[in-house]
Structure 1
Amino acid sequence: MISLLLLIAAASSLPDKGQPPLTAQTRMSGGPRPAEQTAVRFDHADLSFEVVPRQRRIRGDALLTFTARAPLARLVIDLDRNLPVSSIAIDGSPLSKRAWSNPEGQLVIALPKPLAAGEKVQARITYGGTPHVALNAPWDDGIVWSSTPDGRPWVATTTQGYGCDQLWPCLDFPSGEPALVDLHITVPPGLKAPSNGRLIGVDTLSDGRTRWNWRARQPNTYAIALAVGPFEELTGTYRSRYGNEIPLYYWYLPGKTEQAKALFAEFAPTLDFFEQVIGPYPFADEKVGVVETPHMGMEHQTINAYGNNYAKAPEGFDWLFHHEFAHEWFGNQVTAANWDDYWLHEGFAQYMQPLYGLWREGDARYLTMLETQRNRITNRAPIVRDKLLSEEEVYEPSLGGAGTDIYYKGALTLHTLRGLIGDDAFYRAVRRLVYGRKDPAPGNFRPRFGSTREFEAIVKEESGQDLGWFFDAYLRRAELPDLTVRRDGDTLRLEWREGSRFPMPMEVKIGDRVERIAMAGGSGTLTVPAGQHVVVDPMARVLRRSSAVEQYQTWQARARQ
């Protein structure tokens, strides 16, 4: 009876979704940073995790190596206070507990002696506790404690919105990436722990637990992930069009072998598409990795989370797998140094799906997929504000963010840009954004940071056109460009309400022929014989305001009430 009561008490003490609560500090990822964080280079993170599903706890030990860029008297490291620190050592010497504090989720460590610029320091931080349980992963961050149909633990993490400090002591802003990360993940007997990078080895401990050892180079801060379960594996090797071989791995739940094989069969053609259209797979020396998770998905570098339940779609491929895989190029290879440029991750990744439809089946599939995205654009806030912002300030409408427009409006902006400057200039510009060079090949590039302003400059060089007006219209203003069309006798007049600020050329179909109107100064005319049928922008090349879409969205909103 006593044992049963203890079990009931233990179960009742387990955290519910959304618990334990996060401080405002932990919820903020990115934005303005303390001077001490920008004054260090993050050289190496050696991270040890023990995952204890029965208690819904983790234990951690982090050995962090930094180089001072400027004189430094203390370290400021982000770590959720739900993971209290038990000890800290600096360069091997233990610190008194009076030497550190973490009241709100930002760990401040007084160094025994100040660092001069160029000096290195190692901090070993031992911590552990009950991590925040995601309310609705991956849209709300945290850890997901789940179980397989036969009752075995199935665990996954997602930290994009609130940041890496929910799991480990880190620099929680995009350019806070460590140059190298070693991961050691200890899990209960019978479970596996696929993670980022390359598998160094698996140690079996005396009590049957296993420790999974991984090494990843320059992972995105929020891309470091834990995934634990009784996984089965599919493996293969892909021979790239660049001549190198890339290992492929998929970890999936038992009982889903046929579905898993069908998804695994998508790896090779998807790789071929990206390597042909964009360039070499960025992490070929590590792996292409995917793991089945109890949440929808996330672009965890070389170990993308997949939770789409093998859904089928008319385009013939799994959109979620494709979207997260696109982030290996857009998000992991090129990372926005400021969350204000978040659309460089999501807009590009979203646009890759209709481009894949075009690559596979042609224009009809491409336009059909784009139309679905077009109808989801809301235009409530600008995508880019040219300010240093946190992730939530960019994404959350309640904080002035653009919400899902960073996906859909970002994608349609790229579609419009491609139509404006042509395929050659467009793909040259994208390649330079991703790799930082025109001639990427395996081994001659590393992950890098990019920005909207940099992309604008690259587009200008590759197209020979100054398109500041274009990026201002689509990224820095909320409302879409608005085209008026009037027909007076034999004259067709097109005019952008934005006038000379938006000289976007337009195509017009008259009968069976298509004419292009330059629209210099924001307007243009065309002579149209009486009785001829006219279609403006017949191939939907230009994203612009549509009263029909607005009315449709209003009707949809009312229907949902």
Structure 2
Amino acid sequence: MHVTFPPFESLTAVRLHNMKFINYLFALILALLFGSCSLFRSEMATPKREGKIPKFSEEQILLGELTPLRTCFDVNYYDLQIEVHPEDQTLKGTVFIHAIATANFDTLQIDLHPNFEITSLEDVHSNKALSFDRKHRAVFVQTSHKKGDEFILKVKYNGAPEEAKKAPWKGGFVWKEDTEGKPWIGVACESDGASLWWPLKDHTADEPDSVRMTYTVPKGLIGVGNGVLENTLENKETTSYTWFVSYPINTYNITVYVGDFTLVQDSYKGLGGDELTLNYYVLKQHAKKAEKHFKQTHHILKVYERIFGLYPWYKDGFKMIESPYAGMEHQSAIAYGNGYSKGGLFTTDYIILHETAHEWWGNSITVKDLADVWIQEGFATYSESVYYEQMLGEQYYDISLRRIRPSIENKYPVVGVEGRRWFHFRKHSDVYVKGAWILHTLREQLNDDTLFFDIISSFYDQYKYSLVDSQDFIDVVNAKTGKDFTWFFKVYLTQHQSPHLEYEISKTGELTYRWTNVPASFDKLKVKFNAQGEEIILTPSTTEQRMQIKEYTPTGSYRFLKQSLYSVN
């Protein structure tokens, strides 16, 4: 999922500590133009009021917690057979849930929005109807199994799915018509969960190994899903399209698009030597425009493969589908709704750039709990800057980071609340922007690009096709550097306050400086100070430190520099 940011020109003022007015004004102008990439400038300072953690509803708790009713079984395969009815905006379907018992149990929980009626629920092996109770989205199924048992649940259901209030951020179905008056439909549910529209074990900690989706739609329309198109069946008044995903997939990425699409085909020669199929399902009137516009995908894939590793889904291909909302990183079937815009940063379409990055960060590597969603959104946002750096040069990397920095709010810790399915981008965008800047700040502290990108690619290689949390990334950083960076991540991930550097210069040229808003252990972060052109590396602590500026001149320039290997000062 993507987020939009204000323009670079909206940088806010910096707060300094006890400086003469002339130095204050000079430093203020510099801060507006070349702010700190280590987050100590005051536009990232602690806000007046800390963000308030909401009181979670019973539904959020039931959906977010991994109780024994959910951990007692592991789903390895879903088979979705769903009819989409645009005329009354309803769904009717049958879903087969293939699972294995990980403990003895007599009740388990699956999930489905209460908008839907469950018309039957049975155990396939015994052909026995199962009793169940419902509370909010939770469906408590009475069925007994011993640890190691393999079983299949068959769920028939129908109803009207929630309509998205603002897709993809506020999830649900989007029912629109194209310019020809034909149905144009999509769904997005990262923050809200796939149980908005089909029955499943709705928790990011359980990914199926594969999925088959059959979407039946009115004749004349195409139903597109993830993965590879296996079969098309023409019925009397409808057409059924069967898609298959051969890799693990997080369930909020399982999707459907319905429209009067035409297929624009392309291919990409991967860095590993394999050919990757590129299929673009677009509204017919946009076919020529799409063919030209989507050529930038080649460059994006090449940069990401070079930096992170090979594209994860070669067997399933790469698709973009024109969607009736802005965009979403549905695995191997990205939603594209940016109107073929060239108005992004440096004329690159940021929807393609950001959502493609998610194929690595969010789709291949997925967080166990959305509390750690910065690994998905922060890494994807940072990937955009890396792309600009690789394609256009170092200064564009800097510009792209400075552009998004004013969006950092520091109202909440970057790592959120576990067990509540709380994707708090709704309250602020720090999981995107501060997440990206944490990676940039780490890169600066290492001052070794070879090491930094080895950390990133090694993290990806070690955990691709699997689930992670923040500690997994910290462990890779510590192992690769041979140092303990817990102090760094504890501040940037788990407290909402930004590190703030207070400093002053006396009339005689004595520089006094210290950190605030950090624990005493935060005494390893290096910052750069420019004294009339001489660059000095300082390591502040929470205790005041002093140094005498050599050959001090009252009218000289003295300032803390932008923390960047690629200085624009």
TM range (shorter): 0.7 to 0.9
Relative contact order (C-alpha < 8 Å, sep 6+): which is higher? 2
* Residues 39-82 of structure 1 deviation map (CA, whole Å, 9 limit, x = unaligned): 11111111111111011111111111110011021231111121
What is the aligned partner in structure 2 of residue 429 from structure 1? Answer: 455
1:214 partner SS? strand
Contact in 2 for aligned 1:80/1:166 (Cα 8 Å): yes
Contact in 2 for aligned 1:29/1:161 (Cα 8 Å): no
1:128 partner SS? strand
Q: Does structure 1 residue 365 correspond to structure 2 residue 396?
A: yes
Contact in 2 for aligned 1:29/1:392 (Cα 8 Å): no
Distance 1:451 1:80 in 2: 27
Deviation at 1:257, TM superposition (A): 2.7
Contact in 1 for aligned 2:515/2:541 (Cα 8 Å): no
Contact in 2 for aligned 1:88/1:94 (Cα 8 Å): no
Contact in 1 for aligned 2:217/2:238 (Cα 8 Å): no
Contact in 1 for aligned 2:401/2:437 (Cα 8 Å): yes
Counting aligned pairs with the same residue, the percent is 26
Deviation at 1:210, TM superposition (A): 3.4
1:248 partner SS? strand
What is the aligned partner in structure 2 of residue 551 from structure 1? Answer: none
Distance 1:224 1:407 in 2: 22
Distance 1:279 1:305 in 2: 23
1:211 partner SS? strand
What is the aligned partner in structure 2 of residue 506 from structure 1? Answer: 527
Q: Does structure 1 residue 58 correspond to structure 2 residue 91?
A: yes
Q: Does structure 1 residue 33 correspond to structure 2 residue 83?
A: no
Distance 1:196 1:393 in 2: 23
Distance 1:193 1:29 in 2: 32
Q: How do residues 29-108 of structure 1 correspond to structure 2 at under 5 angstroms?
A: 31-96=64-129, 99-108=131-140
Distance 1:524 1:39 in 2: 59
Deviation at 1:93, TM superposition (A): 4.1
Distance 1:485 1:478 in 2: 22
Give the aligned residue type for 1:453. Answer: Q
Contact in 1 for aligned 2:174/2:185 (Cα 8 Å): yes
Out of 392, 414, 418, the residue aligned to residue 439 of structure 2 is 414
What is the aligned partner in structure 1 of residue 557 from structure 2? Answer: 533
What is the aligned partner in structure 2 of residue 465 from structure 1? Answer: 483
Deviation at 1:274, TM superposition (A): 0.3
Distance 2:191 2:335 in 1: 15
Give the aligned residue type for 1:460. Answer: N
Q: Give the structure-1-normalised TM-score.
A: 0.85
Deviation at 1:123, TM superposition (A): 0.8
Q: 1:271 to 1:526 in 2, by over 3 A?
A: farther
Bigger CA drift: 172-181 or 529-538? 529-538
Contact in 2 for aligned 1:492/1:528 (Cα 8 Å): no
Q: Give the structure-2-normalised TM-score.
A: 0.84
Contact in 2 for aligned 1:157/1:226 (Cα 8 Å): yes
Q: 1:139 to 1:72 in 2, by over 3 A?
A: same
Q: How do residues 195-344 of structure 1 correspond to structure 2 at under 5 angstroms?
A: 195-311=225-341, 312-344=343-375
1:436 partner SS? helix
Q: Does structure 1 residue 377 correspond to structure 2 residue 396?
A: no
What is the aligned partner in structure 2 of residue 547 from structure 1? Answer: none
What is the aligned partner in structure 2 of residue 159 from structure 1? Answer: 189
Q: Does structure 1 residue 480 correspond to structure 2 residue 502?
A: no
Contact in 1 for aligned 2:514/2:542 (Cα 8 Å): no
> Structure 1: which 5+ runs fail to align?
1-22, 398-402, 438-445, 543-561
What is the aligned partner in structure 2 of residue 116 from structure 1? Answer: 146
Out of 485, 507, 510, the residue aligned to residue 491 of structure 1 is 510
Contact in 2 for aligned 1:53/1:145 (Cα 8 Å): yes
Give the aligned residue type for 1:415. Answer: H
Give the aligned residue type for 1:158. Answer: A
Deviation at 1:86, TM superposition (A): 0.9
Contact in 1 for aligned 2:72/2:108 (Cα 8 Å): no
Q: 1:26 to 1:306 in 2, by over 3 A?
A: farther
Bigger CA drift: 201-210 or 520-529? 520-529
Contact in 1 for aligned 2:119/2:157 (Cα 8 Å): yes
Deviation at 1:147, TM superposition (A): 0.6
Q: Does structure 1 residue 179 correspond to structure 2 residue 203?
A: no
Q: 1:541 to 1:481 in 2, by over 3 A?
A: farther
Deviation at 1:316, TM superposition (A): 2.0
Distance 1:463 1:325 in 2: 29
1:121 partner SS? strand
Give the aligned residue type for 2:431. Answer: I
Contact in 2 for aligned 1:28/1:163 (Cα 8 Å): no
Contact in 2 for aligned 1:30/1:338 (Cα 8 Å): no
Give the aligned residue type for 2:415. Answer: V
* Residues 265-323 of structure 1 deviation map (CA, whole Å, 9 limit, x = unaligned): 01110000100111111111111111111111111111111111122224121111111
Distance 2:150 2:126 in 1: 15
* Residues 83-111 of structure 1 deviation map (CA, whole Å, 9 limit, x = unaligned): 211112202444447x1222422112212
What is the aligned partner in structure 1 of residue 35 from structure 2? Answer: none
Distance 1:460 1:162 in 2: 34
What is the aligned partner in structure 2 of residue 14 from structure 1? Answer: none
1:455 partner SS? helix
Contact in 2 for aligned 1:28/1:162 (Cα 8 Å): no
Contact in 2 for aligned 1:30/1:339 (Cα 8 Å): no
Give the aligned residue type for 2:445. Answer: L
Give the aligned residue type for 1:418. Answer: R
> Structure 2: which 5+ runs fail to align?
1-55
Deviation at 1:508, TM superposition (A): 2.0
Deviation at 1:140, TM superposition (A): 1.0
Give the aligned residue type for 1:348. Answer: F
Contact in 2 for aligned 1:205/1:211 (Cα 8 Å): no
Distance 2:419 2:293 in 1: 37
Q: 1:28 to 1:350 in 2, by over 3 A?
A: farther
Distance 2:538 2:548 in 1: 8
Deviation at 1:217, TM superposition (A): 2.1
Contact in 1 for aligned 2:191/2:423 (Cα 8 Å): no
Deviation at 1:142, TM superposition (A): 0.6
* Residues 157-204 of structure 1 deviation map (CA, whole Å, 9 limit, x = unaligned): 011111010121111111121111111111111111221112212122
Contact in 2 for aligned 1:27/1:161 (Cα 8 Å): no
* Residues 2-24 of structure 1 deviation map (CA, whole Å, 9 limit, x = unaligned): xxxxxxxxxxxxxxxxxxxxx96
Distance 2:239 2:78 in 1: 23
Q: How many residues align?
A: 503
Contact in 2 for aligned 1:177/1:221 (Cα 8 Å): yes
Deviation at 1:130, TM superposition (A): 0.7
Q: 1:125 to 1:296 in 2, by over 3 A?
A: same
